[in-house]
Chain A
Amino acid sequence: ETTVTQSPASLSMAVGEKVSISCKTSTDIDDDMNWYQQKSGEAPKLLISEGNTLRPGVPSRFSSSGYGTDFVFTINNVLLGDEGIYYCQQSDNVPYTFGAGTKLELK
């Protein structure tokens, strides 16, 4: 099983700042990493899929990079509406595993 280690567990940012979230995997997963946003009381929403592909309708402020075992998710110019919990997920092998999540709070 591929373990996904996500950090930090929480972030407190000011509007306009840059957010960076890291995910490291215990096995090489090529670029099969995905990123989700979950707002309180809602289902997760896919933001970025394999190959660092921004999903349709997702603002270009969101981006990701990485290959192999090290991945980074970035939000440029963070906005109040970006508050929530962000999860990474590997889609390379069964079982498909998620990171523990990063709670983003805006000051």
Chain B
Amino acid sequence: QVTLKESGPGMLQPSKTLSLTCSFSGFSLSTSGMVVSWIRQPSGKSLEWLAAIDWDGDKYYNPSLKSRLTVSKDTSNTQVFLKITSVDIADTATYYCARNTEASYYFDYWGQGVMVTVSS
């Protein structure tokens, strides 16, 4: 059974760095072709793909946010991390991690999401 779960700080101040963790089970990121992506959704708005990391450690970023994003994974291949630097109010959103594959960037399993509020 594939499950993913995001965790994060809940709230942080503008200009700080947001650190998010995606813990997953039911698959391994060491398996050829596996990818974990980060997607966010401001309240009442649509979805925005942010970044992805694949089984081989290759990283992919949304060009509009690339300078502020860093995606990484742990050596056990059961957690993926996302850092967003210099956050502002526009980064307030629910952040999801989701599974996809190298061959297909559709997202077949999603975490429940973690809400992040940027506020002074």
Contacts and interface: CB of A to CB of B under 8 A. Distances in A.
B104 A91 contact: yes
A101 B64 CA distance: 21
Nearest to B111: A43
B49 A97 contact: yes
Given A43-B96, A43-B110, A44-B110, A89 B47 contact: yes
Contacts, number: 52
Q: Is the contact region of chain B dominated by helix, strand, or loop, or is it mixed?
A: loop
Interface residues of B, number: 20
B35 to A, nearest CB: 11
Interface in B31-67: 37, 46-49, 60, 62-64
Interface string A86-107: 0101010011111111000000
A95 B106 contact: no
A34 interface: yes
A87 B47 CA distance: 9
Range of interface residues on A (Cβ < 8 Å): 20 to 34
A55 interface: yes
B60 A49 contact: no
Interface in B6-49: 37, 46-49
Given A43-B111, A44-B96, A50-B106, 18 more contacts: A1-B64, A43-B96, A43-B110, A44-B110, A46-B106, A46-B108, A49-B108, A55-B108, A89-B47, A91-B105, A95-B49, A95-B62, A96-B49, A96-B105, A97-B49, A98-B47, A98-B48, A99-B46
